[in-house]
Amino acid sequence: MTNRAAVVAAYAAARLRRLPDRAAVEAWQGRRLRRVLTAARERYPFYRDVPWADSPAAQLAAFPVLEKADAVAHFADLNDRGLTLAACLTAARAAEARRDFTASLAGVSIGLSSGTSGRQTVFLTSPAERARWAGEALARLLPGGMERGGLVRGGRVALVLRAGGPLYESVGSGRVAFRFFDLAVPAEEHVAALASFRPTVLAAPPHVLRVVAGAVGRGAPIAPERVLSVAEVLDPHDRRAIEAGLGVRVDQVYQATEGFLGASCGEGRLHLNEDLVLVEREWHDDGRRFTPVVTDLFRTTQAVIRRRLDDVLVAGDGACPCGSPFAVLDAVEGRADDVLLFRRAVAGGEAGAGAGSSGATGAPGDLRPFYADFVRGAVLGVDGVADFRVTQHAPGSVALAVDPAHAFPAAAAALRAAVVGAGLMPPEVEPAAITPRAPLEKVRRVRRTFPIEREGSRP
């Protein structure tokens, strides 16, 4: 089968897949999961000694939950080619330095991760896996993709990303024109080429979409039918600015090296792709946020089985008007180290009684989470604040940079008040400056730099 035919076949399979309710979703996941786990012991040396179990639940539980560090340490035993991480990183970094993104070894393509969560790693994909990804992506992301036959209608897809290569270029199939725009190039320099390409779908990080929206406001003829935020957290104030500039709703793609994890539906709500991945949930104290543990239901080149991500997700409530039974997310809130930690207030201290908002339970003095969404709400709620950065190096203090700088006193007061209102000890708020960002560096407005232990103090 040619690559184009494989993409079309994957697209058709995605559109014909009928999972009308949760029972159907769970039955589908159970069938796929049995195949994945049964093959894992033979395919990947790391899982050779995992014990067998009778029930599907016990079978899954027999496989360990892996951190990123585990996946890095056992990289060669978690892919079916026996490729080492060192060899893959050498090939991928050399290709990226040339900006050609065609690194491959042993018949598989090598994609370089962004390294946002710490140590950089790679993901491996076979030609069949790339074709399946492309078909699934087209079915979900083209205007009218799942509902009205978007592939027949066609489109022009512009992707502004840190890396191109075979994984993304597989999208160029038949009626669909694909163009990669290098994120290493300043976004302003892409405006003329985007206007010439006239994309019907524009996928880019929020900071790039804001530049494009500004250019449209100044007369650039860029009018996509669908706009997709990728790679970075989509903050509400970014969403508002992009939608006002482009006149189109901003949807989201949730993708990581662990898989194509989620996409917005026709109603604009973000769903987990539960036909492609099984997501276990490790709930945080507030009962709304969770850390996902992901098992990919299709990939074979590289094992993604019970992989704990560093992300913090916010679960959605109720059924979606689109009718999909896939779980809804209210937000991909950021990385686990985008969660600040402050000590719980002692009785009679400065903190107020509103402790429930951040899950501030436990003994006085315990480190408790203060989520990035609360930080954004406090700082951006101050009149005149256009942008900000918050960095926490220790539990009792944070560095706050705001644009414009003269808004710092009001923003610092608002942040301290929000922390106190959550039942936590008020931090020292030190002034800082928003430093220039490298073109390939993701925007992270809230960040904690000190580690925490998983047991007991994990947010």
Summarised one tens digit per residue, pLDDT across range 255-294 is: 988 999 999 999 999 999 999 999 999 999 888 999 999 9
397 with 293, same domain? no
Tell me if 459 is assigned to some domain: no
DSSP code for 302: B
277 with 377, same domain? no
265 with 390, same domain? no
Tell me if 455 is assigned to some domain: no
pLDDT at 442: 85
Judge whether residue 372 has pLDDT over 70: yes
DSSP code for 424: B
Tell me if 458 is assigned to some domain: no
Which of 336, 367, 396 terminates a domain? The answer is 336
207 with 238, same domain? yes
326 with 353, same domain? no
Judge whether residue 85 has pLDDT over 80: yes
Size of the chain, expressed as the number of residues it contains: 459
370 with 252, same domain? no
Do residues 121 and 70 touch, judged by C-beta distance below 8 A?
Answer: no
Lowest mean pLDDT among 9-13, 41-45, 151-155, 305-309: 151-155
271 with 370, same domain? no
Judge whether residue 316 has pLDDT over 90: yes
326 with 348, same domain? no
Judge whether residue 120 has pLDDT over 90: no
Tell me if 457 is assigned to some domain: no
Instruction: Indicate the helix (H) or strand (E) that contains 332.
Output: strand 328-335
365 with 253, same domain? no
CA 407 remoteness from chain centre: 31
Q: 327, 267, 274, 324: which is closest to 297 by C-alpha?
A: 274
HSE-CB at 299 with a 13 A cutoff on CA atoms is 27
Domain with residue 125: its CATH number is: 3.40.50.12780
312 with 343, same domain? no
Q: Which amino acid is at 365?
A: G
Tell me if 436 is assigned to some domain: yes
pLDDT at 339: 92
The range of the structural domain enclosing residue 302 comes to 3-336
- What is the Cα–Cα distance from 172 to 281, expressed in whole angstroms? 35
Residue 345 pLDDT grade (very low, low, confident, very high; cuts 50, 70, 90): confident
pLDDT at 456: 37
Q: What is the pTM of this model?
A: 0.87
- Number of structural domains found in the chain: 2
Q: Of the segments 246-250, 336-340, 447-451, which one has the largest average pLDDT value?
A: 246-250
From its phi and psi, is residue 209 left (phi > 0), alpha (psi between -120 and 50) or beta? Answer: alpha
148 with 218, same domain? yes
